[in-house]
Amino acid sequence: MAIAERPSPVLARSGGTVLVTPSSSLGVFRRPVSSTGWRSWVFTVDHKKLGIMYGVAAFTFFIIGGCEALLIRLQLAAGSNKVLSAEAYNQMFTMHATTMVFLFVMPMAAAFANYLLPLQIGARDVAFPRINAFGFWCFLAGGVFLNTSWFLGGGPDTGWFAYAPNTSVAFSPTHGVDFWALGLQITGIASLTGAINLIVTVLNMRAPGMSLMKMPVFSWMILVVQFLLLFAIPVITVALFLLTFQRDFGAAFFSVDKGADPLLWQHLFWIFGHPEVYILILPSFGIVSEVLPVFSRKPLFGYKFVVFSGAAIGFLGWGVWAHHMFASGLGPVSVAVFSVATMAIALPTGVKIVNWTMTLWGGKLRFTTAMMFAIGLIIEFTIGGLSGVTHSVSPSDTQQTDTYYVVAHFHYVLFGGAVFGLFAGFYYWWPKVFGKMLSERIGKWNFWLMVIGMNLTFGPMHILGLQGQPRRMQIWTEFRAGDGFFNGAFWNLVSSIGAFILALGIFAFIVNVFLTYKKGEVTPGDPWDARSLEWMTDSPPKEHNFDSIPTVHALDEFFHRKYVEDEETGDLTLVTTYAEIMAEMEAKGDKNIHLPSPSYWPIVLALGLPIIAYGIIFNRLLSVFGAAVVLFAIFGWSLEPSVADASDYDPPVDGDNGESTKELATLG
């Protein structure tokens, strides 16, 4: 862990902007120290900057994946449209799913986790800051690498589930699947290193007094997700390696004529793939579990039940993977077991719905945009959860699987659940992260357009699926669409129109961000009368997060510092304000604060990986070069001292009496 000792920025702050100008140059081998300009972002190891970069990159992929979805809906608006060829359509739905799952929801959850988790637990950074930076660059490198397939012979065309043997070279002769396997391998490194990093952070770096059962639910859910990642990513890693060797090195893991069983891939993929679903949804469960109490002005109903049901989902999530394979021919005994296990997982999920609803009950509700998205999640996710229960009835699932009914189900879960949760998070934490309030007026437009859009898009898919329209078909026929109110032609059109309303809702968000950036209202100290530690600091927080690390006495520590509850009546009295708490923390500010120093090596190491991957596809010599870059970076990284050299900071402050030789910067 790179830790450089610096003079307390409490003192530095009084001088204004921190500027760093290197006095001597040792070429690229000189350690980066910029705290402004593009270098301060590219070489940063600050969890907050990395969180923002995760968010920006993930949102960009969200737009790309959204455009892919719009093309799909344009093609399906009428039965035999010619917007996309069969080839392009297959690539489009493969990349839409891959992008949304691996390049949007997962990294967006990582953005929230990176930025907020250390703040919520009262830490100054994550446990391994350079590895944190490495994870971000791996994600970005993998995502960009994967998308370059569009320009290098075509994207992957086998669906995001990539069932063998359809992924073999004979059946998918372009390089798309190679890009897919290698790209996800690289983003997988991001998830795996991130998981270890955040687990260590939560277990070791919580503020004094914060026992696990006093930890905010968001942090809890992120912890559960990291454990899921820690065990799920290795499985997909193995599967992707098998696939890469199958395609590029002549292996026969999935060659039926050589005795392979193609169901091997399905088991590996879904042993990863089902926990993955909870990896996508639990962060959003955490977010609404923060938002609902704040805007209901009540603690989360049944905190312990929410935490344990989250952990229970984390365990049960491992025992249900074969419910994706009810039609694969596993035999009735296996199917029965997985059927029952799938029903069981509905229970902890139901517990959450009950607890959120009961949090609203008897509260004092303020309908901010964040709150509306959170309530929207309760409703929309309930629909998705209930259609999920109908799937657990395995004989009936053999009718519904691979139809649009399933598409409806998981979009209610992932859009109505995961994405609504993320948007609740955007509105709730935007003032914290960027110091400006998103417009509530545009926010309402954003919310209602998204709600109407998503229900128009995905609602009709229930009908389409029950009417027997299968998924992943570039065309559908009028003849099989039926007549009357429930005919497929009408509902396909409605769904396509809905998709564009949904897109309009997302556009409203982008407009909101732009206008807020231009002339948004500056965040007042404590805009939401919030409850947890991340609000007990500046907005945006200083580089070192807290002037002094708070000691935690209760769940919802910040709230309980502000308010004192009358034992008998339950009446609350405001005893301290945000400003007073902040002043007190600043007065007690730590003299010397350990903060990690920036580093070149994470980005260099991460950029070596796609070079290896391009080499595997196009020219093995390139792989050798990529491997050399990786080795060079690992070497440089391991030799990099844990503290930056004194000469890296400029100029040393006179009269520093040797206390802090690693001077951060001159003042303004």
Binders of other proteins among 452-491, rule CB under 8 A? 463, 465-476, 479-488
Nearer to other proteins, 44 or 394 (CB): 394
Q: Quick one: DSSP state of residue 255?
A: -
Please tell me whether residue 290 adopts helix, strand or coil conformation.
helix
Q: Does 244 bind other proteins (CB under 8 A)?
A: no
**Least Å from the CB of residue 508 to other proteins:** 22
- Return the number of the residue (527 or 626) whose C-beta is nearest other proteins: 527
Nearer Cβ to other proteins (166/666): 166
* Site size with other proteins, rule: CB under 8 A: 110
Using N-to-C axis directions, what is the helix angle for 332-360 and 263-296, rounded to 10°?
Answer: 10
List C-alpha distances in Å: 118 to 74, 160, 560, 584, 662: 43, 33, 20, 21, 24
Give, as ranges, the residues between 6 and 65 that touch other proteins (CB under 8 A).
none
Question: Which stretch, 22-30, 197-205, 389-397, 606-614, contacts other proteins (CB under 8 A)?
Answer: 389-397
Judged by CB under 8 A, which of 204, 390, 551, 577 binds other proteins? 390
Both tokens of residue 296? 């209901």
Exactly one of 37, 209, 212, 366 binds other proteins (CB under 8 A); which one?
Answer: 366
Nearer to other proteins, 450 or 606 (CB): 450
Q: How far is the CB of 410 from other proteins (least distance, A)?
A: 15
Are the CB atoms for 275 and 317 separated by under 8 Å? yes
CB 516 within 8 A of CB 510: no
Least Å distance, CB 211 to other proteins, is 15
In the bound state with other proteins, the residue whose beta carbon lies nearer, of 90 and 660, is 90
SS3 of 27-86: CECCCCCCCCHHHHHHCCCCHHHHHHHHHHHHHHHHHHHHHHHHHHHHHHCCCCCCCCCH
Q: Which of 68, 397, 534, 547 binds other proteins (CB under 8 A)?
A: 397
Q: Which of 203, 238, 252, 347 binds other proteins (CB under 8 A)?
A: 347
**Interaction residues for other proteins, span 153-212 (CB under 8 A):** 157-159, 163, 165-166, 169-173
Binding residue for other proteins, selected from 23, 36, 204, 399, defined by CB under 8 A: 399
Is residue 315 near other proteins by the rule CB under 8 A?
Answer: no
* Binding track, positions 70-99, relative to other proteins; x by CB under 8 A: ---------------xxx--x---------
Residue 314's CB: how many other CB atoms inside 10 A?
Answer: 22
- In this chain, which stretch among 398-406, 439-447, 535-543, 593-601 interacts with other proteins, using CB under 8 A? 398-406
Per DSSP, 156 falls in state -
- ω before 216 within 30° of 0 (cis)? no
Options 152-160, 184-192, 203-211, 448-456: segment touching other proteins (CB under 8 A): 152-160
Query: For other proteins, which is the closer residue by CB, 287 or 665?
Result: 287
The type of residue at 351 is: V
User: Taking the complex as a whole, how short is the minimal distance between the CB of residue 43 and other proteins, in angstroms?
Assistant: 43
Tokens of 632: 């060079």
> What residues are paired with 666 via a beta bridge?
19
Give, in order, the Cα–Cα distances in Å from 608 to each of 32, 73, 502, 629, 640: 19, 37, 38, 5, 18
Query: Per CB under 8 A, which region of 65-73, 316-324, 564-572, 656-664 contacts other proteins?
Result: 564-572
Q: Which residues of 431-445 are buried (b: 16+ CB within 10 A; e: fewer)?
A: bbbbebbbbbebbeb
Q: Scanning residues 261 to 300, which ones bind other proteins (CB under 8 A)?
A: 261-263, 296-300
Task: For Cα atoms 86, 418, 239, give the angle at the middle one, nearest 5 degrees.
Answer: 55
Decide whether 132 or 355 has the Cβ nearer to other proteins: 355
| Cα–Cα distance, 562 to 531 (Å, whole number) | 9
